[in-house]
Amino acid sequence: MNKPENRVDKIVSDLLKGRRLKLRGGDAEEKAAITMAARLAAARQGGPQRMNPAFRKRLAQALESAPKEPWMTRRAALVAGVGLAATAVAGGIVGRALELTHAPTRLAGGPVNPIPGKWVDVAALADLAEGQGKRVTAGGVGAFLFRRGETVTAVTSICTHLPCELWWNGGAGLLDCSCHPASFTPEGKSTDPTYPLPTLNQVQVRVTTAGRVEVLGTA
C-alpha cells in the first residue's frame, strides 16, 4: 500500500537529487505539501538561481532563429505554416509565403500512418486523468492522449502552424503552441475563429483488454 508519506518522500528525494517533479494523485493537503517541498528544495540553493550557461546559450539561439514576424503579415505566416529563413529580405519572404499557400503539405486532421508502424505501449488507462492531456512518445510519433471514460483519443504533439511542440495547458483545457499564440482543443481543432489553423493530425490509439494504452508509432 502506497502511503502518502511514502509518495511525498519519493518526490522530496527526487527534488533533492535535482530531478524533475513527478507527481501523483493525492488530496489537497498532499498537493500543498508537494508545492511546499518544491519551494524548500529551491531555497536549498541559496539566493536567486541563474540559468546554466549552456541553457542560456540555447535560449539565445532559439530567440535568434525564430522567424521574424514583423516582416510578414500574420495572415502570410499562418498560411505558410512553416518557419522561414530569418535572413531573407522582406519581399522574398512574402512572395515565398504566398507560393507555399498552394503547396500540398499534409492532410489536415488526417491520421498519422507511420510505415512501418508499430503499436507501442505508452501508458496504463488508469494513469490517464479524465479530460487531461498526457504527452507520450511512440518511437518517432509524439502525441497527446485524452481519456473520456473508457475511450482514449490522441492527436499529434506538433503544431500545424510552426513545427513546434505543443504543451497541455490544463488550466485552459487546451493544447498551446510553444512558438506562437495558437491553441487547439483536445479534438485538435484550432481555437482562433479569425485565422483558424489546420486541424491537428489524429494519432491512432487503442486500449488493450489488459487496460494498457497503445499508440501506433514507429519501432
* Binding flag, residue 82, another protein (CB under 8 A): no
Among 168, 183, 197, 199, binds another protein (CB under 8 A): 168
Residue with cell 493530425: 201
CB 157 within 8 A of CB 142: yes
Q: Which C-beta is closer to another protein: that of 5 or that of 107?
A: 5
Of 26-34, 103-111, 150-158, 209-217: span binding another protein (CB under 8 A): 26-34
Distance between CA atoms of residues 91 and 88, nearest Å: 8
Q: Which C-beta is closer to another protein: that of 79 or that of 164?
A: 164
DSSP letter, residue 150: T
* Binding flag, residue 2, another protein (CB under 8 A): no
Among 79, 82, 108, 164, binds another protein (CB under 8 A): 164
DSSP H helices in 1-154: 4-16, 28-43, 53-65, 74-80, 90-100
161: buried, middle or exposed (CB in 10 Å: 19+, 13-18, 0-12)?
buried
Site for another protein in 94-133 (CB under 8 A): 129, 132-133
Specify the 3-state DSSP secondary structure of 190. strand
Q: Residue 62 phi/psi, 5° resolution?
A: -65, -40
* Binding flag, residue 217, another protein (CB under 8 A): no
* Binding flag, residue 25, another protein (CB under 8 A): yes
Q: Which stretches of the chain bind another protein, using CB under 8 A?
A: 4-6, 8-9, 12, 15-16, 18-23, 25, 28-52, 55-56, 58-60, 62-64, 66, 68-71, 89-90, 129, 132-133, 164, 167-172, 176, 178-181
